[in-house]
Amino acid sequence: MTTGKAPNLRHCECSEAISFFAPRRVERLPRRLRFLAMTAILLAWAGTVQADWDTPTLMKMLAERPAGQVRYSETKHSALLKEPLKLTGTLRYKKPAFLQKHVQTPFEEILSVDGERLTWEKPVAQKKHILALRDYPAIRGFIESMRSTLNGDVKTLERFYKLRLDGTEQQWTLVLLPSDIDMAQFIRVIRISGSKARISTIEIEEAGGDRSIMTLHEDVP
């Protein structure tokens, strides 16, 4: 389990880093404030020099892609399981608000979201649930991390998460932190990595340490 815990620590540092602008600290440490201000100015300057690589640019690139279909493999680590659960299947997405996650192994399950409608199908058991997404805010937040990212819908994404973009255009990581307290009960952080307009991994870290890593393979023609 040590390997499982390493990212946790890293994450904790991240959230510390995010909240370092807390005003009381700034008041107590004016010298540090000056230092920080300088750093911020330097960084901003560096940003303008280094082309415009920011979240809106990334999301615009993602939004400009045509509808797509990719194969994925997912590894789910859970404290409840003896060994990680490996799943494979396909993801289909289409603007403005369509996403289908078709699990093919080790069992078959089709999860489709279109607008507000969530369809949950288990072909073997011949069961089908249709739900209104707005009735399940936590599940919706979970789904938007994938749907809005794949479709480049920054507005919706920002309703559920605080966004931060690390890295370069060649090798970027978009960090999603749940902004809603109810969702934060279940999800700690989601990290989406990729290169240019191609998403390569989606890593979801749940509260309590369980996590899943989804790797997206080359687009299926």
Partner 1 sequence: MKRWPVMLWLAVLAGCLWWVTAQTRFNTDMAAFLPDSAAPAQQLMVDQLKDGVASRLVLLAVENGSTGQLAESSKKLSRALEASGHFSYVRNGEHGLTPAEREHLMQYRYLLSPTTDTSRFSAAGLEQGLQDSLQLLASPAGAMVKQLLPSDPTGAMLNLLEDWGGASSGPSLQHDVWFSDDGRRALLLAETRAPAFDIDAQQQVGDAIRRAFDESRSSPELRLLMSGPSVFAVQSRNLIHNDAWRLSLVAMLLVSLILLLAYGSPRLLGLGILPVASGALVGIAAVSLSYGNVHGITLGFGATLIGEAVDYPTYLFTQRAAEESLRNTLERIWPTLRLAVLTTVFGSLTMLFSGFSGLSQLGMFSLVGVLAAGLVTRYVLPEIAPDHFAIAHRVQTQALLARGASMLSGLKWLPLLALAAAAAYLAIQRQDLWENELSRLSPIPSPALELDRSLREAMGAPDVRYLIAVPGNTRQAALEHSETIAPQLQELVQQGITAGYDLTARIIPSERTQAVRQAALPEPETLRRNLDQAVAATPFRADIFEPFLRQVEQSRHLPPLQIKDWQGTPLGGLAGGLMVRQGDGWVALISLRNVSNEAALKAFASRLGGDAFLLDIKGESSRMIMQYRDQSLRYSLLGVAAILLVLGIGLRNIRAIFAVLLPVAAAVLATAALLAGMDIKLSLFHVVSLLLVLGIGLNYGLFFNRPALDEAERRRTLFGVLVCAASTVSAFGVLAFSATPVLQAIGITVALGAVLSLLFAAMWAKTK
Smallest gap from residue 65 Cβ to partner 1 (A): 23
109-140: b or e for each residue (b if 16 or more CB lie within 10 Å)?
A: bbebbeeeebeebeeeeeeeeeeebeeeeebb
Closer residue to partner 1 in complex, CB, 141/152:
141
Alpha carbon distances (Å) from 43 to 15, 23, 40:
19, 20, 5
* Region binding partner 1 by CB under 8 A among candidate stretches 36-44, 60-68, 166-174, 182-190: 182-190
Binding to partner 1 by CB under 8 A, coded x per residue (else -) over 188-207, reads ------------------xx
Closest CA to 113 of 125, 129, 89: 129
User: Within 112-141, which residues bind partner 1 (CB under 8 A)?
Assistant: 120, 122, 131-132, 134-139
Smallest gap from residue 92 Cβ to partner 1 (A): 16
Is 1 one of the binding residues for partner 1 (CB under 8 A)? no
Beta-carbon neighbour count of residue 144 at 10 Å?
A: 22
Beta-carbon neighbour count of residue 58 at 10 Å?
A: 22
**Among 76, 92, 95, 164, contact with partner 1 (rule: CB under 8 A):** 76
Query: What span, in angstroms and rounded, lies between the C-alpha atoms of 196 and 64?
Result: 12
Binding site for partner 1 (CB under 8 A): 74, 76, 78-83, 85, 87, 103, 107, 109, 111, 120, 122, 131-132, 134-139, 142-143, 182, 186-187, 206-208, 210, 212
